[in-house]
Amino acid sequence: MCQAIEANPRASACGLCGGNLLVTYLPVDSPLALVDPNQRGMWRYHALLPVMQPQNAVTLGEGNTPLVRSHHIAQQLGLKALYFKLEGSNPTGSYKDRIAAVGMTRMQELGVTGWAATSSGNAGAALAAYGARAGIAGMLFTLETAPRAKLTQILAHGPRVVAVQGLGRDPAIERGTFAAVRQLCEQKGWLMQITAHRFSPIGMEGAKTIAYEIAEVLGEAPSAVYVPTGGGGLLSAIARGFGDWVQHGQIGHMPCMVCVQSLGCDPITQAWQGGHEVRPIPSCNARISGIQLTAPPDGDLALKFVRNSQGWAVSVPDAETYAAQKMLAQHEGIFVEPAAAIGLAAVMRDLRDGKLDPAAPIVCICTGSGFKDTAAAQALSEGIEIPLIKVEEIKCEG
């Protein structure tokens, strides 16, 4: 059970310094208590989730997503064991469902009547869906450039959606938006559900379960885990999940955590390369939706986990990300949005640079479904014509 729940159940930051809050738990009696066979999906791990009544969880069946071993791409690259964690298999199509499920469950337990968040799409879709499931109204502040397919999915669930000019491109606007959303929630008695430890430490615990599932399937920790990174929250959560499993003796070591960012919107990579803290960058000129943040709220936290795990950070040009998206679709049958393919692009870049042991197991976190970004999906088939034939011509096509 979570110790922070009783201390201040609505806290989203330290009351003294404004820093991040991380949830800690009372000791589990035995390793067998970590996994509940009577629960499904990610709720099997409720002993390490910050909710009081897991039997009343707000759930749509999230978690237990496939960990698919590569056949063709691994062979082409000379890798012995390359895996893709398909988070697009979650109910709304991304890993954000894990966060929304925990966040909305805790809000329901506290009797909170509303939420507010920022999102370029995936978090908004998850919060809107799980908010509808919980009967909790919400308000979302999004980017001008958010893909229409993502916004359509969000609007279908009924929250109010507003686009903020400059969000995702200007660090001052990002910081101002976060502060304004916090103030709005304080005024209305709502809870922030921005998917970052700095703003939603309770909800972010849901993303740890990705690590638990990977370790259970492999029976060990992989050598390296490649994580698409915008705000830094996902990488931090997965690293904490592997840390939990090390602490409880389920695996023997931490994997190297690899932060993958888009070249042109990569403040965490710049900090890792320069050996300093994360500094906001003046603008973002990368096009990969979902990981466009100039001032990542969990940037320093993610950087700490990268360094402590002996990992590294890598930035990938957009063209290589789109090529990896096409490669996954055509060689593995895996249809993901561009941000979900950036990990594979980074693996190929690191192989060329001699950073990887080809015999070691590697996992790429594929964060969202290809249906999330219809413009990028349509680009995969651009220029391919579909000929019109007569029925009697079919035999000539074989």
pLDDT digits (tens, 9 = 90+) for 348-380: 999 999 999 999 999 999 999 999 888 888 888
Cα 34 to Cα 321: distance, rounded to the nearest angstrom = 37
Percentage, residues of the chain above pLDDT 90: 80
Cβ count near 325 (within 10 Å) = 28
pLDDT at res. 25:
80
**pLDDT tens digit string along 219-245?**
999 999 999 999 999 999 999 999 999
Terminal CA-CA length for the chain: 62
Return the higher-pLDDT residue of 58 and 19.
58
pLDDT at res. 4:
45
Going along the chain from its start, the domains and CATH numbers come out as 15-60+95-203 (3.40.50.1100), 67-93+205-380 (3.40.50.1100)
**64 with 87: CB under 8 angstroms?**
no
128 burial type by CB count under 10 A (0-12 exposed, 13-18 middle, 19+ buried): buried
Residue 397 above 90 pLDDT? no
pLDDT at res. 5:
47
Residue 127 above 80 pLDDT? yes
